Structures are given as structure tokens and as C-alpha cells.
Amino acid sequence: MRMNRYPQYYLSLLSYGALITITYSFSTISIKNILHHHHHRHHHPTTTTATILKLNNNENNNNNNEGSLDKGFNILGKANALIPQGTIVTTAKAGWKFIWNKMMVELAPQDKSGSYTRPTYAFKNKIGDNNFPDEAGRYHLYVGNPCPWCHRTLLSIKLRNITPDEISITHLLSNAEKATRGGWIFNPSTQRNKDPLYNSYDLYTLYNRIQPTYDGRCTAPLLVDKISKKIVSNESSDIIRMLNTCTFGKNQRMDLYPAILHNEINDACNWIYDNINNGVYQCGFSTTQSAYNAACEKVSYGLTKCNTILSKQNYLCSDTQFTEADLYLLPTILRYDGVYSPFF
């Protein structure tokens, strides 16, 4: 069989599997053997490895606390007699890189260049459509505070002065270990964190109850019609835009999308999303150096453009009015120094 017909990562996995097998086959050798070997080699140059193993098997247990040490697989200690350390390290690095790449692609889909490509969704409904009437108290929003996309919808609700009686809200908890799929779960111990529709355990359970055929990512924010129990949208930009057009309620609303600034706002939202909102994630989720460099350049370009505009006026599209464009920028900028810059 010609081994060069197989992708490199298969060879890495095979090598790593063989390495672990070898490790377990030498399970009687411990760190003490290695230290013992070096000690005797220094004082008794003629002592063989076989003799040392025999001595180790017959030695008394003077150091009883040795058994409490967590030695992991002890690969370097046990297999180094048969496999050079360089091979072990190289194989482990190749295997880890393969696993890491596949995990990153699962979490963040990549194009051929290794650049993160954000998925799109099929939920393109709108409050005000025939199936989703513009009615107060009919809709429920699921959000998670750590998420910038959720943050922008919450800011929109506050700025638009939309009350809980008009749109109710559940605050999800971020816990990837407990979630069935994705990272969002509910905490039924508090009303603020409950699912009012199905009392779901996590967001995946809710998606599955509402639309069992859905096979995409179970993301937030999620806007749901409580009457029909159907998803309106799970895209933050669409939710923000529709919240700006809702007519229910009598409280004074801030217009985040004034007609006179439509063109400027649309243009600004596009470059802010591409270079900054999504750009930071393209940095963090890139799996090649070239993709990472390109993403960093985009973020730098976006931040420089913001700085240039805001050095001349108070807001991105107007000197006097906070708009949807500023709402796009704010959640990312608030997280930039604390999260994106150091981690991504």
C-alpha cells in the first residue's frame, strides 16, 4: 500500500494511535524508572535498562505518594526508548493541529483559504407581514448577554423604549458543556431565564420543538411568535431593522433608521459589519496565516475609518443623530480591548 496516497492528517492520527498503544504497552514503566535509570547510569555506567527495570520491579515502596501524581499518558517517559522525542513531538503537534482545525471548522465554517465564513439563515420573516402582525405582547426575544449580536438587539429595544409588555425577553446562559448543541441553555430557577414556550432545557431543544426539520446552528438572538410558535428571525440585523418599524405601543421611540440617512446608514452598516463586527471573528477563527493577516488588515482598516469619521463628527452618519450604524459598532468596540484584541 502506498502511504503517500493518504492525507497527512490520517498518517498523523495513525501515528498518534500507535504511539498511545506503545505507551500503554509500557505501563509498568514510570517516571521513577526514568529518574532511576539516569541515577544508575551516572553512578554505574555498565548498568543496563533491563537491570534497571528488574530493580524497579523489586524495589520497595519508600515513596508512597508517587501514586498520587497525575502523569497523563507519560508518552515521553515510556515511549522515548523506542521512538525519538522529536518524532513524538512532531506527531503530537500534527495530530493536535488536525483536531484543532476540524473543531474550528465545526464551530466556524471556513472557505478554501482558511477564512471564517459566517453562515446565513433561512428565517427571513418580518413583524408586520401577513403571518406576523404588528401586535404588542405577541413576540419573545431570546438573548445571551456575552453575545455582541444579542447585545445590539437589547440596545435597540432600550433605545426604542420597547417595554417587556410589548416584547418579552429571556436571558440565556452560556454553557457549552451542558448545552446539547451550541452553547446556550436555560435556567428554569429564575423567571428571567425560563423558556416561556416549551420550558426547554437549552436552545437546541427549543429550535427542535419549533422546527424539527431545522439542521442549522442554534444561535441567538432568536425572535419567536408566541401565538403561532414560529421563528420570525435569528439574524440580529433583521431584528434591529424590524424593531425600528414596529408601531405597537405609545411610548416615544428613537428612530435608528431615519429616511433622510438611509443611504449613509446602509453603506456604513455594510463596511462596519464586514471589517469590524465580522472582521474580529475572521481573525479569531482563521486557520491559515494568510487568512489571519487579511482579516487583521480589514479590522485595522475599519477602525481607522471609524476614527477618521468620529474625529470630525459625533456619530458615524450624522453629527447630531445616533443611528443604526452606531448601534452596529458599539457592542464590538465595547468588547475590543477586553476580548477581541488580546484573544483574537
pLDDT at residue 36 in the model = 45
Q: Which residues of the chain form CATH 3.40.30.10? A: 139-245
pLDDT at residue 250 in the model = 64
User: How far apart, in whole angstroms, are the C-alpha atoms of residue 210 and residue 203?
Assistant: 11
**CATH domain 259-343 topology:** Glutathione S-transferase Yfyf (Class Pi); Chain A, domain 2 (1.20.1050)
SS (H, E, C) 106-167: HHCCECCCCCECCCCCCCCCCCCECCECCCCCCEEEEEECCCHHHHHHHHHHHHCCCCCCCE
Q: C-alpha 48: how far from its chain's center?
A: 52
pLDDT at residue 23 in the model = 42
* Bridge pairing between strands 167-174 and 184-185: antiparallel
The residue written with cell numbers 449613509 in the block is: 264
pLDDT at residue 76 in the model = 65
Cell numbers at 108, concatenated: 466556524
**16, 142, 147, 246: which one is catalytic?**
147
Three-state secondary structure call for residue 53? helix
214 catalytic residue (yes or no): no
Task: Name the stretches of the chain with pLDDT < 70.
Answer: 1-81, 88, 96-121, 188, 249-251
Please, what CATH class does the domain formed by 139-245 belong to? Answer: alpha beta
147 catalytic residue (yes or no): yes
In contact, 153 and 236? CB cutoff 8 Å: yes
Q: What is the pLDDT of residues 158-188, one digit of tens each?
A: 999 999 999 999 999 998 888 887 789 998 6
Q: What is the pLDDT of residues 248-274, one digit of tens each?
A: 766 678 999 999 999 999 999 999 999
Q: Which residues of the chain form CATH 1.20.1050.10? A: 259-343
**16, 204, 281, 292: which one is catalytic?**
281
Q: Output the pTM of the full model.
A: 0.70
pLDDT at residue 192 in the model = 76
pLDDT at residue 90 in the model = 77
DSSP 8-state class, residue 83: S
Consecutive H or E run containing 91: helix 85-107
